[in-house]
Amino acid sequence: MRTPHHLLPSVLAVLSALAVSSTLAQTPSQRPPGTSSNPSAYPTTTPTTTPTTAQPTTTYPGQVQPDGTYAPTTTTTTATPVATTSSVLSPAVTPTQGTVYAMPPGPLPATPMVGGPAVMFGSQMFSGRFSAVPFNGFNPDYTVSSGDRVVVRLWGAVAYEALQTVDAQGNIFIPNVGPIKVAGVRNGDLNTTVSNSVQRVFRANVGVYATLEAAQPVKVYVTGFVRAPGLYGGLSSDSVLYYLDKAGGIDADRGSYMAVDVMRGSQVRARVDLYKFLLKGTMEALQLRDGDTIVVAPRRNTVLVAGEAFNPYRFELAGQQIKASELLAMATPTPAATHFAVVRSVGPQRRSEYHPLANADQVMVDAGDEVMLTADKYIGTIQVRIEGAQQGERTFILPYGSQLKDVIARLTPAPQANMAGLQMFRRSVALKQKENLDATLRSLEVTALTGRSDTSEEANLRATEGQMIMQFIERARTIQPKGQVVLTTLEDAGATLLEDGDVLNIPVQSNTVTISGEVVFPNTLVFSQGATIDDYIDRVGGPTQRADRNNVMLVKPNGVVMADKGTPGPGDEIMVFPKIQTKFIEVARGITSVLYQLAISAGVLNGINTR
């Protein structure tokens, strides 16, 4: 008996070829979208990077920078690599003294997956993209408050210039004019307010200009339920999101996205609801000062939404309850959704409710509940695709429950059609064939890796054979079955119920017989009346030395398989299987079973597509 080394290399070559041929030979409806039967149709891409260019970086000499670093009074430039491939991060550059560098944004946030862990709504905001770009601009909607600093300039008959701080009563004081109330005034209206007050005293020949102090570098404390509490540098015009992002974002497991307080001293300057920003794009504009504190409160009540929703997240609630309609407005049901289930925890019990979406305004959802959106739709019609020698329409829409004979009655076969060889392919059958193949491969894998050896020589032989078998298994797993339903005769198969997505292929009448597998010259021959299987094998050079003459199959166009018996007819195929030569019977049996399944379910053997 020969060692497995004579067999397994050839088997591996077989699998590498048939993995390609199985994909290229699939019908257009079975081929993955966007793929081509021409191997040259698959382009390759090579990312390119342009040379590094020097770009100036704005610094504040002798001051604390927006990111909290200190810049000496020097002028520097930052080398910024420019890449044409957006997915490639810029290469690291060695910093020089006084240069300010921003951390590159992190990876994109996690997307909720079916069956995966629940993701908190709001956690997708903090991935380094807010802190990467500081904001230094005029905000006309900002409301002036106590502690803000206002630059005031008078010219003409009176010359005056000062930086005024809004006092506790909300006033600034201008000599010879007196206190001017500016607290509560919009930034865009500040100049008009101050100018009107000044002109009550100086009625002519006095110009007035008043504005909030330009954004200055500040340091802000960020604490509470954030990932990295600390003191962070930025600009006074930067948003709360900028500082939260620099602190690593809100702790998705404990922090609140609806209660972010901005403290000035012991008073709450503002409370920010990040859900309003996420859902509506609105957020109060704030002018921060040195020493301000951003505090993230602990998380409030939550409700989990899953199923047919565009936003299947865990949502935070402002109170103990929320209307189902308001919750679903945040979750955004898909067009397919029709109903929602509410699973409530009542003491030690779990109770379920089921409601149509139209009644969502009448249902209250409590904290801790779970909401599942579903698509309760029944099948009314099915679609069947016709391929091959069909002269009429190629897509039929039929009532659910239609049978094969209903489609056959509506076919318009071409004159050269072979209706006796009608083929039917079904997605559910392909999935089942794939499951069976994977189960057989797992069994073969266990057998190959857990066998016992009596001697060291036998152990070495098993190790070498095991490596080859594992390669065989990995390549066999890439084969995709066709899902063919064997139709013995049209009379017997006429009562077969059709499924949505079925494909019927009408083959063309053929006058050839294909011989594949372990023969000297696999080929297709002209049909000869009365010729036997052995006759056709002899005409292509006979079997190879690896052929197993006891394992010969005759496959009919409609998928019927005859094991080494019967007379070949037009359009038939003869498959000659290899002889599995190994001293381990279990391994031989497993490989043989895999080859049989590949030949029947995928229609391939030795890299040749059989149908």
pLDDT band (50, 70, 90) for residue 29: very low
Query: Which position has the higher pLDDT, 523 or 96?
Result: 523
Q: How much is the average pLDDT of 303-317?
A: 92
Q: Does residue 141 contact residue 285 with C-beta atoms inside 8 Å?
A: yes
pLDDT band (50, 70, 90) for residue 451: low
Strand partners, 505: 387, 423
* Predicted local distance difference test score (pLDDT) of residue 493: 83
Highest mean pLDDT among 459-468, 484-493, 509-518: 509-518
Furthest C-alpha separation in the chain? 123
Q: How many independent structural domains does the chain possess?
A: 2
Q: How much is the average pLDDT of 46-60?
A: 40
Give the whole-number percent of the chain exceeding pLDDT 70. Answer: 73
Low-confidence winner among 76-85, 285-294, 344-353, 432-441 (lowest mean pLDDT):
76-85
Residue 86 reports pLDDT greater than 70: no
Alpha-helix runs per DSSP H in 290-342: 324-331
* Predicted local distance difference test score (pLDDT) of residue 1: 41
Give the distance, in angstroms, between the CA of residue 450 and the centroid of all CA atoms in the same chain.
37
pLDDT band (50, 70, 90) for residue 85: very low
Q: Does 310 reside within a domain?
A: yes
Cα–Cα distance for residue pair 258/319, rounded to 1 Å:
11
* CATH number of the domain bearing residue 158: 3.30.1950.10
Q: Does 329 reside within a domain?
A: yes
The last residue of a domain, from among 168, 197, 212: 212
* Predicted local distance difference test score (pLDDT) of residue 8: 45
* Predicted local distance difference test score (pLDDT) of residue 549: 79
* Predicted local distance difference test score (pLDDT) of residue 598: 59
Q: How much is the average pLDDT of 581-610?
A: 52
Q: Does 343 reside within a domain?
A: yes
Q: Does 153 reside within a domain?
A: yes
Query: Which position has the higher pLDDT, 172 or 64?
Result: 172
* Predicted local distance difference test score (pLDDT) of residue 142: 74
- Which residues lie below 8 Å from residue 323, measured CB to CB, with a gap of 6+? 360, 361, 363, 364, 365
Residue 586 reports pLDDT greater than 60: no
Q: Retrieve residue 177's tokens.
A: 């004019």
* Predicted local distance difference test score (pLDDT) of residue 63: 39
Low-confidence winner among 9-23, 166-180, 363-377, 399-413 (lowest mean pLDDT):
9-23
Residue 193, domain extent: 149-212
Q: How much is the average pLDDT of 293-301?
A: 93
For residue 406, which amino acid is it? Answer: D
Closest CA to 579 of 19, 8, 13, 12: 8
Q: Does 100 reside within a domain?
A: no
Sign of CA dihedral 431, 432, 433, 438: positive
Q: Does 11 reside within a domain?
A: no
- Element (H or E) spanning 161, and its range? strand 160-165
Highest mean pLDDT among 32-46, 327-341, 455-469: 327-341
* Predicted local distance difference test score (pLDDT) of residue 33: 42
Residue 605 reports pLDDT greater than 50: no
pLDDT tens readout for residues 184-235: 888 889 999 999 999 888 888 899 999 887 667 889 999 999 999 999 998 8
Residue 22 reports pLDDT greater than 60: no
* Predicted local distance difference test score (pLDDT) of residue 548: 81
Q: Does residue 507 contact residue 418 with C-beta atoms inside 8 Å?
A: yes
* CATH number of the domain bearing residue 324: 3.10.20
* Predicted local distance difference test score (pLDDT) of residue 251: 92
Q: How much is the average pLDDT of 498-521?
A: 90
pLDDT band (50, 70, 90) for residue 250: very high
Q: Does 341 reside within a domain?
A: yes
This prediction's pTM: 0.51
* Predicted local distance difference test score (pLDDT) of residue 337: 93
Strand partners, 366: 321
- Which residues lie below 8 Å from residue 175, measured CB to CB, with a gap of 6+? 160
Angle between helices 456-476 and 585-597 (to 10 degrees): 10
Residue 166 reports pLDDT greater than 70: yes
Cα–Cα distance for residue pair 498/380, rounded to 1 Å:
13
Closest CA to 53 of 74, 81, 29: 81
* Predicted local distance difference test score (pLDDT) of residue 115: 60
* Predicted local distance difference test score (pLDDT) of residue 84: 35
Q: Does 445 reside within a domain?
A: no
Cα–Cα distance for residue pair 446/114, rounded to 1 Å:
31
* Predicted local distance difference test score (pLDDT) of residue 88: 32
No. of helices (H) and no. of strands (E), the chain:
11, 31
Q: How much is the average pLDDT of 248-254?
A: 91
Residue 608 reports pLDDT greater than 50: no
Closest CA to 60 of 221, 231, 233, 230: 233
The last residue of a domain, from among 319, 353, 374: 374
The last residue of a domain, from among 336, 353, 374: 374
* Predicted local distance difference test score (pLDDT) of residue 602: 54
